[in-house]
Chain A
Amino acid sequence: MSPSASLLLMLLRVSAPCDAQTRVALLPFERLALPSEDARELEDATRRAVAALPDACLESREDTVARLRGSGAALAACGDAECRSAQASALGVRRLVRGVALGVGGKRSVALTVTDARGPETRAQFEAPATTPGEADARARQALQQVWSPLVTTQAVRESREPRGSRVLPKVLWGAGGVALLAGVGFGVAARSTESKLSKNGGECATAGEAFADCFASRLDAGRRQARTSNVLLGVGALLGLGGAVSFVWELP
């Protein structure tokens, strides 16, 4: 995914509210032996890589910084994973991503720590040559993919994408049933019209002469077919309506 596409995706996600299940915060990187501009570049590359993960809802840097300030400056320096996990919970995020950007040995690299509020802590590293544009993004994505376990299960993903109570099926059934009922009424009206015409001296067949009998029989058959179609459609409509009601009750949360 290109950086611009990642950015767009990130913006779209930022515009939508994150839930506690998928919210991820990336703390401003620490840096060692690296100018702040380079460190910020590596942090941004990592941010784009996190934002591109399928189930991560990444908090914006501004929001994260504001929340850190609101919570009384920087997070306390935890010495173990349990403490860091508790910090993630306190911040209301599912995962905290920390990073140290290094410029040692003439190379740029990043050491990442991913802390899950409910699970284990994982670590990853990547090198990011300054000479190759876009390389940092690719390396960051690769490093994160190695340590990023899915935030939610497949079932949970399905549920989150098709939430229980969306009532799509009842609506479809009711819609189809309504269409069937309307069509059934239409055919019923047509059958009644045919019947009334034939009852008045044979209707259109009155002028048929010797072919009166054939004409009358033909019109009579057409009326019967309309009546039968109407009955079937009304029945189907009723069944679909009933199905819609059943599925509506079934999908109640």
Chain B
Amino acid sequence: MRMPSHRTLALSALLLAGTAASAAPEQVHYALIVASNTGTEPSQAPLRYADDDGARYYELFAPRSREVVLLSVLDAETQALHPGLAAKTRAPTHAALWEALARLNGRMAEDRAKGAVPVLSFVFVGHGKRGAAGEGSVSLLDGPLTRTELYAKVLAPNKASFLQLIVDACDSYFFVHSRGALPVGPAYADAVKGLLGNRELERFPQVGVVLSTSSEQESHEWSAIRSGVFSHMVRSALSGAGDVNGDGRVDYAELRAFVAAASQGMADVRGQPRVFIQPPALDRAFALTNLGDAASLGYLLVPTGVAGRLWVEDARGIRVVELHKERERPLVVSLPVGRGYYLRASGREASFAITRASEVVDVGGLRWSDATVAARGAVQDAMRDKLFSVPFGPRFYRGYMASLGITPSSDEADAVLVP
């Protein structure tokens, strides 16, 4: 009998590989963002930037998602910064939420029927509290969204193969604009625990959770970034700054380490963000974002050799991404297309533009000049100095994971160089 030649075997292997690759299910992304400045209790002072956070989450998810729903009432400043977005939003009410969920569930059911893997990112930014009976809730415009409703009406009927729950809600949400007297109410950490009982969460292994369990003492809005600090960190990480191993995917462990590094220097600042981040039990290596996916985004390449605290502001003055990079490896962050940007570092800046999808701008080729923008005020100085003061990269990641006793599921931190 004639044995198959090496060429035949190689061809067969290639065909098999191609078949396997083409058989990999496609991920389809959706996002539902609820952002409300308003609290349901008189003690909850209105937030300033929850609507801004909602708008920015919208800009983060829109280029990589099939559909993004934003439930928010944007204030005048936010509407001016995001022209046209208000027309796409609906008020953050229960009715609007159920309607949006029903529509998205319908689309995701169709995706599953076609063999795709629908992924829903459910984001809430606003006030949170714990009721007298110990049940946690977050504030919608027309009343609280309780834990019972979350499980019964959001998680249980959800058709997503994976659901990413991101909650940045705190009843002491201010930092820069502190009102002096601290808000009265239960600790937000308790509210979170009340909102998500761990035992109940175990029934939903497809759900990953990213929660700000910040101190109840102070809040974390920062006027310099017109955003909540925690959400700013999360968006920065998901833009690519959290990709520690260069595989283009930001998983839950990387996000957790990124937030820890970004906030580590704030130990002496009231209200250091504390987080509860848990990957889906079904796939603990599941990525919150994948830079390799096709998307109408541009990319900023920060090469090896460039180190330190860097942030990107767009032409509107919005700080889009912030990071503190270790020197020894390159990094890439995604940015919306069709805008001018400033890359800023301590005392200097460089301008650039992203004009088309998939465009890569190399930081090494930018022309730096002395910075023309200065921060204002002592509190701003404190935030400026403390946030992102610790470099984030493989060294921090390994140490952080070791301190937690966690073995990273995808530790490829040394695999950046092509073997």
Instruction: List, in ascending order, chain A residues with CB within 8 A of B334's CB.
Output: 104-105
Query: Does B415 have its Cβ within 8 Å of any Cβ on chain A?
Result: yes
Query: Does B25 have its Cβ within 8 Å of any Cβ on chain A?
Result: no
Instruction: List, in ascending order, chain A residues with CB within 8 A of B331's CB.
Output: 32
Instruction: List, in ascending order, chain A residues with CB within 8 A of B303's CB.
Output: 100, 111, 113
Q: Which residue of A lies closest to B295 (CB)?
A: A105
Residue-wise, chain A 29-43 has the 8 Å CB interface mask toward B (1 for contact) of 111111010011001
Q: Which residue of B lies closest to A121 (CB)?
A: B364
Stretch at the interface among A74-82, A203-211, A232-240: A74-82
A237 and B360 alpha carbons, distance in the complex (Å): 70
Check A32 against B417 for contact (C-beta < 8 Å): no
Check B362 against A123 for contact (C-beta < 8 Å): yes
Query: Does A175 have its Cβ within 8 Å of any Cβ on chain B?
Result: no
With A79-B305, A104-B291 known to touch, is A34 a contact of B248 (CB < 8 Å)? Answer: yes
With A79-B327, A106-B294 known to touch, is A36 a contact of B415 (CB < 8 Å)? Answer: yes
With A30-B304, A109-B358, A127-B358 known to touch, is A39 a contact of B295 (CB < 8 Å)? Answer: no
Query: Does B406 have its Cβ within 8 Å of any Cβ on chain A?
Result: no
Instruction: List, in ascending order, chain A residues with CB within 8 A of B416's CB.
Output: 30-32
Instruction: List, in ascending order, chain B residues with CB within 8 A of A102's CB.
Output: 299, 301, 332, 360
Residue total for A at the interface (Cβ-Cβ under 8 A): 32
Check B358 against A30 for contact (C-beta < 8 Å): no
A28 and B305 alpha carbons, distance in the complex (Å): 16
B246–chain A nearest beta-carbon distance, Å:
5
Q: Which residue of B lies closest to A127 (CB)?
A: B358
Q: Which of B292, B305, B330 contacts A103 (CB 8 A)?
A: B292
Check A43 against B291 for contact (C-beta < 8 Å): no
Check A33 against B246 for contact (C-beta < 8 Å): yes
Query: Does A22 have its Cβ within 8 Å of any Cβ on chain B?
Result: no
Check A100 against B365 for contact (C-beta < 8 Å): no
A104–chain B nearest beta-carbon distance, Å:
5
Query: Does A107 have its Cβ within 8 Å of any Cβ on chain B?
Result: yes
Check B358 against A39 for contact (C-beta < 8 Å): no
Q: Which of A28, A83, A103 contacts B248 (CB 8 A)?
A: A103
Instruction: List, in ascending order, chain B residues with CB within 8 A of A80's CB.
Output: 305
B277–chain A nearest beta-carbon distance, Å:
22
Check A32 against B330 for contact (C-beta < 8 Å): yes
A184–chain B nearest beta-carbon distance, Å:
69
Check A32 against B295 for contact (C-beta < 8 Å): no
A101 and B332 alpha carbons, distance in the complex (Å): 11
Q: Which of B364, B415, B417 contacts A123 (CB 8 A)?
A: B364
Check A100 against B292 for contact (C-beta < 8 Å): no
Could you list 18 further interchain pairs (A-B, Cβ under 8 angstroms) beyond the known A33-B249, A104-B291, A111-B301?
A28-B418, A30-B304, A30-B417, A30-B418, A31-B416, A31-B417, A32-B246, A32-B301, A33-B247, A34-B292, A36-B418, A100-B301, A105-B295, A105-B334, A106-B358, A107-B294, A125-B360, A125-B362
Interchain Cβ contacts under 8 Å between A and B, 30 examples = A28-B417, A28-B419, A29-B418, A30-B330, A31-B418, A32-B243, A32-B248, A33-B247, A33-B249, A33-B291, A36-B415, A36-B418, A40-B419, A77-B304, A77-B307, A77-B328, A77-B329, A79-B307, A100-B330, A102-B299, A104-B334, A104-B360, A105-B291, A105-B297, A105-B358, A106-B294, A109-B360, A113-B303, A113-B364, A123-B365
B residues lining the A interface (CB < 8 Å): 243, 246-249, 290-295, 297, 299, 301, 303-307, 327-332, 334, 357-358, 360, 362, 364-365, 415-419
